[in-house]
């Protein structure tokens, strides 16, 4: 396990060094499918570096990554990689972006790291052993009064095939007088729930690489993460709700319009 952890953190830090090196400079920006669904040459450089480090130690492991897709090797180990989560922020020189890498074993999350080099914050979790920020243990908030919650959300590039537009859900939260932020990085959103900065987070249509590491970090910090029905969560779900646990049901009720 120690070698897996070392490989995970080394890969995140090396990619983070690339992000930091290019952040204030110039780089090529392209658009993927959809409006403002950006990818930069730095995304590709980071992904190449991460995969290179992983393969040097574990050449037979499966890799799932945002830009290059999947490399299936029929391995029980899967590395789930987002080289830059918050690419739009990065492309506009907004320092809320990160490297996110999760490692699962037999489809159970085992290790996760989220590293924002611009803020020098490295979040890490190991299944059953807690969550950490820069090696210091973290816990979700203890807040129980939903009226005093501070929340965060995001909006997908493509609206989900739902009965209700996500903006309508967002409206219900802000009509409660609740502060709701949008950072532009789901991985950071989840980590900031894990360390108590936010009390809850919800979003539609995320991908496994957006949430694999953050999912484990929230759980290991004592939080709760489910879909919008409150059912057990999978990183392949398209509905993500993460809270400190105390206000999970209130958030479900607003999302589902059951208040």
Active-site annotation holds for 101? no
Of 47, 66, 189, 219, the catalytic one is 66
Active-site annotation holds for 210? yes
Of 43, 47, 82, 219, the catalytic one is 82
Active-site annotation holds for 199? no
Round to whole Å and give the CA distance between 82 and 91: 15
Round to whole Å and give the CA distance between 216 and 130: 9
Active-site annotation holds for 60? no
Of 30, 139, 138, 165, the closest CA to residue 87 belongs to 30
Round to whole Å and give the CA distance between 220 and 229: 21
Of 85, 126, 189, 237, the catalytic one is 85
Of 43, 126, 210, 237, the catalytic one is 210
Three-state SS across the chain? CHHHHHHHHHHHHHHHHHHHHHHCCCCCEEECCCCCCEEEHHHHHHHHHHHHHHHHHCCCCEEEECCCEEECCCCCEEEEEEEEECHHHHHCCCCCCEEEEEEEECCEEEEEEEEECCCCEEEEEECCCCEEECCEECCCCCCCCHHHCCEEECCCCCCCCCCCCHHHHHHHHHHCCCCEECCCCHHHHHHHHHCCCCCEEEEECCCHHHHHHHHHHHHHCCCEEECCCCCECCCCCCEEEEECCCCHHHHHHHHCCCC
Round to whole Å and give the CA distance between 100 and 81: 6
Active site residues: 66, 82, 84-85, 87, 210
């Amino acid at each position: 396990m120690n070698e897996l952890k070392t490989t995970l953190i080394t890969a995140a830090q090396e990619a983070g060094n690339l992000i930091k090196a290019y952040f204030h400079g110039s780089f090529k920006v392209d658009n993927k499918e959809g409006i403002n669904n950006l990818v930069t040459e730095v995304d590709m450089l980071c992904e190449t570096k991460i995969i290179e480090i992983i393969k040097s130690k574990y050449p037979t492991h499966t890799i799932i990554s945002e830009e290059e897709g999947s490399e299936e090797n029929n391995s029980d180990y899967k590395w789930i990689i987002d080289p830059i989560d918050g690419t739009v922020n990065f492309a506009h020189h907004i320092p809320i972006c990160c490297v996110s890498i999760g490692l699962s074993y037999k489809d159970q999350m085992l290790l996760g790291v989220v590293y924002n080099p611009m803020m020098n914050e490295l979040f890490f979790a190991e299944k059953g052993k807690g969550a950490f920020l820069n090696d210091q243990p973290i816990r979700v908030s203890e807040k129980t009064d939903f009226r005093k919650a501070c929340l965060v959300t995001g909006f997908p590039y493509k609206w989900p095939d739902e009965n209700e537009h996500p903006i309508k859900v967002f409206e219900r939260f802000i009509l409660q007088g609740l502060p709701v932020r949008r950072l532009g990085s789901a991985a950071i959103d989840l980590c900031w729930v894990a360390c108590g900065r936010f009390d809850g987070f919800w979003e539609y249509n995320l991908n496994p690489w957006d949430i694999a590491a953050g999912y484990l970090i929230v759980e290991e910090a004592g939080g709760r993460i489910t879909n919008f029905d409150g059912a057990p969560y999978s990183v392949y779900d398209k509905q993500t709700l993460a809270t400190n646990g105390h206000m999970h049901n209130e958030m479900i009720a607003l999302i589902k319009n059951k208040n």
